[in-house]
Amino acid sequence: MGCGSCGTGKPNGCKSNGGCSTGGCNRLNVHDWLLNLPFSDPESSCKVVEVSFKQGSRKEFFRNTTLQFFEKGDYVTVEGVSGFDVGEISLTGELVRIQMKKRGVDEASPEMKKILRRSTERDIESFHISKSREKEMLARSRAMARVLNLQMKLSEVEVQADGKKATFFYTADDRVDFRELIKQYASDFKVKVEMRQIGIRQEAAKVGGIGSCGRELCCSTWLHDFKSVNTTAARYQNLSINQTKLSGQCGRLKCCLNYELDTYLDALQHFPDYADQLDTAMGTAYLIKKDIFKNLMWYVLPNNTKHYPLTIQRVKEIKRLNQQGQKVDELQPVEVTSSKPKEVEPAFVDVVGQISLRSLERNDKRRKDQQRNDRRGGQEQGNKSQGNRPQQGPRPQGNRDQGNNRPQQGGGSRPQGNRPQGGGGQRPQGNRPQQGPRPQGNKEQGPKPKD
């Protein structure tokens, strides 16, 4: 007998109040494994259904007096406070009795409200209009509480489908006098105000989320009775007292610390008491942890970081000798072998550290020098072919002496010895194409003419 959607196999059906903790089936996808079972007395069938409000954050039981057939996901109009409310069917059939027994609700209670009818289009339209006001009301209500300097935190606002009542859920450490706040809420929102205080864990259940285990929070799916959790549960399970790792999203210790606590307590009954210290010839050995799976007790000696695993029989023997005033020469630890098969190292070469940054910089510099030399070689070939040289921009003035500093053709002789001549004489200036800036390394500069 388990949940047909997730296959958890939990007793009493799915472990949630209308859903399991796999995340997707905690709202509506509950497998009713009692649906097709024949009953000898149809009159004894459950006439109560479970209705969820505000996407499953609140669930209540309502009496189906008209014995209508409802399926999960149907919208129904139920009795409210001075009006009506609209909810969603989350559970029907005999599973409702199991949930009522779990929550301690009496099926024959006269205070249980009734289902009025299946929701009409007008009811659903009024329902959507009322729900659209909740975000704005929550923001304004928080601002009002801040102005009155009240030490409280408003976590959620739920408006009834007919818009006549609003329930404000808040958390507070101490008692809060919100009489003036209720007057402001009633006059501003034009609704009947109900203030309901909840705990930190209930607030996390309403908000919801994903826990460190990767599954949906237990408090928002199936856990409803919150038990106190303290650090003693973590010590019994040999967990490090780390507040960050042991705390849930509510800021309190995780509820799952109590899940396996009974198993650890039963296993620790076989371990000897008052065995925190053992007297040896090498000093006093102190107990650091107990391994209930291997039935070993780990000790450490002073001025030594080595851990010594001892069996329960050996610890009892040493404790008996210490009570007689004797000190053992050695602890006689056992050799702990891992049942996990040894992993074969993969056949690859670890090249970490073989490539240094200096070698990379050297290669980068060599590549840049090669590109610079290739660029020079291409420009030198272009300088040799003067006839096919393309038109270039104006030559920079600093590369060649021009103007007043240039010797005149008739006034003085220009030194021609160091400059190679193109055709044996002076090059005609009219047919010479214009050039751009000539690289300095390609032109051999001769001595400057003396004045």
Top-confidence residue, 264 or 379: 264
Say which residue, 2 or 133, is predicted with more confidence: 133
Residue range 247-265: average pLDDT?
A: 92
Q: Please give the average per-residue pLDDT across 24-53, as a whole number.
A: 67
Across the range 242-258, mean pLDDT stands at 91
**Inside any domain, residue 158:** yes
Q: Is residue 72 part of a domain?
A: no
Q: Are 157 and 141 spatial neighbours (Cβ–Cβ below 8 Å)?
A: yes
Give the pLDDT band (50/70/90) at residue 134. very high
Examine residue 32 and state whether it is found in any structural domain, yes or no. Answer: no
- Residue 385 in any domain: the answer is no
> Would 293 be classed as within a structural domain?
yes
Q: Is the pLDDT of residue 102 over 60?
A: yes
Distance CA 438, CA 431 (A): 18
Are 276 and 251 found together in one domain?
A: no
332 Ramachandran zone, left/alpha/beta (phi>0; psi -120 to 50): left
Number of CB atoms found within 10 A of residue 397's CB:
9
Q: How far apart are CA 369 and CA 380, in angstroms?
A: 17
pLDDT-derived band at 353, boundaries 50, 70, 90: low
- Indicate whether 389 belongs to any domain: no
**Single residue among 255, 288, 323 that ends a domain in this structure:** 323
The residue among 355 and 99 whose pLDDT is bigger is: 99
Q: Are 133 and 200 part of one and the same domain?
A: yes
Is-contact 186 177, C-beta < 8 A? no
pLDDT of residue 407: 46
Residues 167 and 146 in one domain: yes
Supply the pLDDT for residue 25.
39
Backbone angles phi, psi at 114, to 5 degrees: -115, 160
Q: Which of 124-138, 245-259, 307-321, 411-425 has the lowest mean pLDDT?
A: 411-425
Which of 50, 42, 30, 116 is closest to 78 using CA atoms? 116
What would the mean pLDDT of 411-416 be, rounded to a whole number? 46
Lowest-confidence pick of 6-15, 168-177, 205-214, 377-386? 6-15
Distance CA 301, CA 409 (A): 103
What percentage of the chain reaches a pLDDT higher than 70?
Answer: 70
Portion of the chain with pLDDT greater than 90, in percent: 35
CATH number of the CATH domain containing 143: 3.30.300
Residues 243, 306 within the same domain: no
Q: What is the pLDDT of residue 413?
A: 46
How high is the pLDDT of residue 435?
A: 53
- For the beta sheet containing 307-311, the strands, ordered from the edge strand earlier in sequence to the opposite edge, are 277-280, 283-291, 296-300, 307-311
pLDDT of residue 138: 94
Provide the pLDDT for residue 5.
38
- pLDDT in the model for residue 92: 87
Q: Which of 74-88, 102-116, 323-337, 353-367 has the lowest mean pLDDT?
A: 353-367
Spatial distance between the Cα atoms of 428 and 411, rounded to a whole number of angstroms: 19
Per the prediction, the chain carries an average pLDDT of: 78
Same domain as 284, residue 238: no
Q: Which domain holds residue 319?
A: 271-323
pLDDT tens column, 267-319: 999 899 888 899 998 889 999 889 998 899 999 998 888 899 999 999 999 99
Domain annotation covers residue 353: no
178-225 residue pLDDT tens: 899 999 999 999 999 999 999 899 899 888 889 989 998 998 888 878
Residue 109 clears pLDDT 90, i.e. is over it: no
Length of the chain: 451
Q: Is residue 67 part of a domain?
A: no
Report the run of H or E that residue 284 belongs to, with start and end. strand 283-291
pLDDT of residue 41: 61
Q: Give how many domains the chain has, as a whole number.
A: 3
Res 4 pLDDT > 90: no
Domain match, 264 and 292 both: no
Res 243: pLDDT: 86
> Regarding predicted confidence, which is higher, 409 or 206?
206
Q: How confident is the model at residue 402 (pLDDT cuts 50, 70, 90)?
A: very low
Among 109-123, 226-240, 331-345, 361-375, where is mean pLDDT lowest? Answer: 331-345
Q: What is the pLDDT of residue 448?
A: 52
255 lies in the same domain as 192: no
- Considering the domain architecture, whether residues 265 and 275 belong to the same structural domain is answered as no
Q: Which of 8-12, 92-96, 158-162, 374-378 has the highest mean pLDDT?
A: 158-162
Q: 0.75 exceeded by the pTM?
A: no
Torsion sign (Cα): 53, 59, 60, 61: positive
